[in-house]
Chain A
Amino acid sequence: MFKNLFLGNTKVDFYKKSKFFYKVFIIEITIFVGIIIMVFTNTLDLNLSVDFTGGTTYQFDTEYSSEDISDVMNSNILEVSRYQTFENSNSIIFRATEASSEEEAQFLDYLSNKFNIPDSEIEFQRVGPTFGQEITQKGLRALIIFLSFIVILITYRYEFRYSLIALAALVHDLLLCFSIYLLLNLEITPSTVIALLTILGYSLYDTVILFDKLNDARKVKKQNNLNIETLNSTFNEVLMRSINTSITSVIPIASILFIGNYLGLSGALTDFALPLFIGIMSGTYSSIFVTIPFLSKIIKN
């Protein structure tokens, strides 16, 4: 099996399986849309970080008891909306709604006295509510320009229909990642947004390499249109590259996650690694199993 896989001698009839993958794709998209509807109807909570909602966070390492936490939550200096603790470390994070600078300074003093740590060791972050909007707006603008550019590029090099397939794979990856975030109620930070943008590039990179291989195979066999045989042989050959590439890409990211977890660090870097981890897996999957049903449709027509 392994030898066949390595030689690209596997004889999977991808064309025949395309209906199955199409169904899987439709089911997935239905689930994603369902999850998003649940967010809009407030059945699911969108866990946005302080960067998007505005407010302040205070993070520090200390020995604490649950009493300490409830003391802080009930302190009347400013409105502490929630807290977060971590299994592997003594880190603790308090989140509060926006307040005046004096109140913030007072609260910092309070924490520093209560937990007996110098206030320079308390991580402090304050974000106005417009900042998150700005990130989101700029991110969306970047996304739209980038996608239009990709459509033009793929249309120029291959075909217009191919660019739609690439977009379908892309949307699949983004939605999958987003849905997992929503379901696990993970916090969405600016790092998550950067990671989503990276997934975008990654997913396209994978799909483009695949299209290139299909194109080559077609040229070698001097065919004008894609046919079933070329589709099957190309995908069988490309399996090994896809598996190898996703393994090599995932390893550095997995090492961030595991080393980070081992050291008890939960910061921006691990915030970043998780969506990438999901995204690369999903990108590898979609570059093969989301494109096949659509490519098969092209062949049928």
Chain B
Amino acid sequence: MKNILKLLLLPVISITLFYYTLSSNISPKLGLDLQGGISVILTAPEGTEQELIEQAVEIMRTRIEAFGDVQEPEISISGNNSVLVQLPGVTDQNKAIEALGTTGLLTFRPVLDSSLTNGYSPAFDYQPNPDDPENPLKIVPDGVDEIIGVSNEDNPNSISYLLGVNTGFPVIYELGPAALTGNDISDAIAVYPDNEWIVSLELKSDSDSKFTNLTKDLASKSGEQRKLAIVLDGEVVSAPGIAYDVDPNVGITGGNAAISMGNTDTGESANNLAVILRYGALPVAFERSSIQKVSASLGENTLQLGLQAGIVGLIIVSSLLFLYYRALGIVVIFGLSSFGLLFYSVISILGNFQGYTLTLAGIAGAIVSIGLAADSYIVTFEKFKDELKVGRSFQFAANKAVDDAWKTILIADFVSISAAFLLYILAIGPIKGFALALGLATIFDLFFTRIYTRNAVPLISNITTNPRLCFPIKNKDLQNV
């Protein structure tokens, strides 16, 4: 009775998990190669600091999310200096690749006006409407969105209307032509001297006078026009005002400036601004080492192929083993089906909670593992047969076979698991997915051998003692040996 409970343990767990994935509508998270999209591998120069790569990944994430049409962008650091960017469902590759590869355009532009003055975009001009005094005429300049009043394209050389969300709510700024660019900055760093975060800015020596002239001009103004907008790729990331103690006749001199960031957070916004000032968009000049684009239809075909091959394989393997091992074949069919359900459920759950994506290589790993799992049964049954052959009783042979087979399978699976583990640690990209699928399947195989097969085979030997029901051999054959 106790054995039957143990025997049922894994199938019950498998079915429960499978039921759970079905009822909560969880399915494996598909990799790019199975659902279409763009995958880019970026490589930083050898020896780049890990911290810089992490910062770059953060910046890329925000830039990609700004696209809007990306379902679940996945950006991860792989190896020492590579970044893997996966954009499922994205087809506009030029746009996507642009966002990743190039460092952004950073400009400094004087603020001419902003939506803070009268609550609507400074691009709009309202004229009295003689026909309907209640609804004044709205005049929108060319190249500006009619509804929100933001320039369609950021042109650094002419007046633009750009959006900033740095203050926590959207503000539309009217900006003059760029006065300085990111190339004029030599360094920027976030510091916390007196209970307040400050971004300390250092200019290149030949840009020094440009900055002084700009600040002289701004210091003579008041209100919104006293502000200097820092613009990255058409978005205002910050618009600090010039302090009131700056003399309009002198400006800010010495090639240094400090931007007060307040003390509302733990310095995150100050750090982010410093990074943007220092590097434009990305702190690292990445090389695009691989770009891969998979159309949705091809991805779907491949998935179909994988699934069909897997199911056909499972059916043929089960039938063959059933023909060979008869009653024991039932053990195999039941075991392999539970194995399949468990594998599917765990991959789905890992995808949902750990972000594991099932790729083509993963499916390949799974298909290979069918052979591995089937082999464990074969090893056990063959030992069983060997024991019968040397004249053991049915019961004894079954018990000894499962014990001996366990030792063999343990070491053989250990080799497989170590291979998978090493591959996982040392390899990059697709090989990782393969290694994980293979390793997982091998671990399941160990569990099934130890708990399921170990109890199932002796059970069969309790039910029947006729070898013909387990092997294509007769009692007579055994006695002849």
The main secondary structure of chain A at its interface with chain B is: helix
Is A268 engaged at the interface, CB distance under 8 Å to the other chain? yes
Q: Is the pair A268, B302 in contact by a Cβ cutoff of 8 Å?
A: yes
* Cβ B367 vs Cβ A253 within 8 A: yes
Q: List B contacts of A212 (CB < 8 A).
A: 407-408, 411-412
Is the pair B309, A259 in contact by a Cβ cutoff of 8 Å? yes
Assembled-state Cα–Cα distance A64/B398 (Å): 63
Give the shortest distance, in Å, between A115 (CB) and chain B (any CB): 14
* Interchain CA distance A241-B312 in the complex, whole Å: 22
Question: Of all chain B residues, which has the CB nearest A211?
Answer: B411
Q: From A3, A7, A190, A213, name the one whose CB has the most chain B CB atoms within 10 angstroms.
A: A7
Closest to B431 in A: A194
Q: Which residue of B is nearest A9, CB measured?
A: B481
Contact of A7 among B324, B407, B414, B481 (CB under 8 A): B481
CB < 8 Å: which of B97, B360, B419, B472 contacts A201?
Answer: B419
A196 CB, min distance to chain B CBs, angstroms: 11
| Chain A residue, CB-CB nearest to B408 | A212
Give Cα A268 to B419, complex, Å: 22
Does the CB pair A7–B477 fall under 8 Å? yes
**Residues on the A chain within 8 Å of B97, using CB:** 101
Contacts of B422 in A (CB 8 A): 142, 145-146, 149
The interface residues of chain B lying within 8 Å CB-to-CB of A273 are: 364
Asked whether, in the complex, the Cβ of B301 is within 8 Å of the Cβ of A265, the reply is: yes
A269 within 8 A of B: yes
Does A165 sit at the interface, judged by CB under 8 A?
Answer: no
Contacts of A244 in B (CB 8 A): 324, 378, 382
Whether a CB of chain A sits under 8 angstroms from the CB of B129 is no
In the complex, which residues of chain A have a beta carbon less than 8 angstroms from the beta carbon of B418?
146, 149-150, 153
B residues in contact with A27, CB < 8 Å: none
Whose C-beta in chain A lies nearest to the C-beta of B43? A130
Listed stretches B2-10, B160-168, B205-213, B315-323; interface member: B315-323
Q: Does A120 contact B (CB under 8 A)?
A: yes
Chain A residues with CB under 8 A of B415: 150, 153, 201, 204-205, 208
Is there contact, CB below 8 Å, between B408 and A128? no
Q: Which residues of B contact A269 (CB under 8 A)?
A: 302, 305-306, 309, 360, 363-364
Q: For the complex, is B227 an interface residue (Cβ under 8 Å from A)?
A: no
User: Cβ of A250: which chain B residues have Cβ within 8 Å of it?
Assistant: 371
Chain B contacts with A in 404-445, Cβ cutoff 8 A: 404, 407-408, 411-416, 418-420, 422-423, 426-431, 434, 438
Q: Is B203 an interface residue (CB 8 A)?
A: no
**C-alpha gap A190/B97 in the complex (Å):** 23
Q: Which chain B residues (250-291) contact chain A, with CB distance < 8 Å?
A: 287-291
A123 near B295: Cβ-Cβ < 8 Å: yes
By the criterion CB–CB under 8 Å, are A205 and B412 in contact? yes
Question: How many Å from the CB of B429 to the closest CB on chain A?
Answer: 8
Instruction: From A7, A145, A245, A259, give the contact of B389 (CB < 8 A).
Output: A7
**4 tightest A-B contacts by CB?**
A252-B313, A249-B371, A120-B91, A201-B419
Can you report 7 residue pairs joining A to B where beta carbons are below 8 Å apart? A126-B288, A126-B290, A134-B82, A193-B431, A209-B408, A251-B371, A272-B361
Extra pairs beyond A126-B292, A130-B287, A269-B363 (8, CB < 8 Å): A124-B292, A150-B418, A191-B364, A194-B434, A248-B371, A251-B371, A263-B304, A269-B364
Residues of B within 8 A of A (CB): 33, 41, 43, 79, 82, 91-94, 97, 287-295, 297-298, 301-302, 304-306, 308-310, 312-314, 316-317, 320-321, 324, 360-361, 363-364, 367-368, 370-372, 374-375, 378-379, 382, 385-386, 389, 404, 407-408, 411-416, 418-420, 422-423, 426-431, 434, 438, 471-473, 477, 481
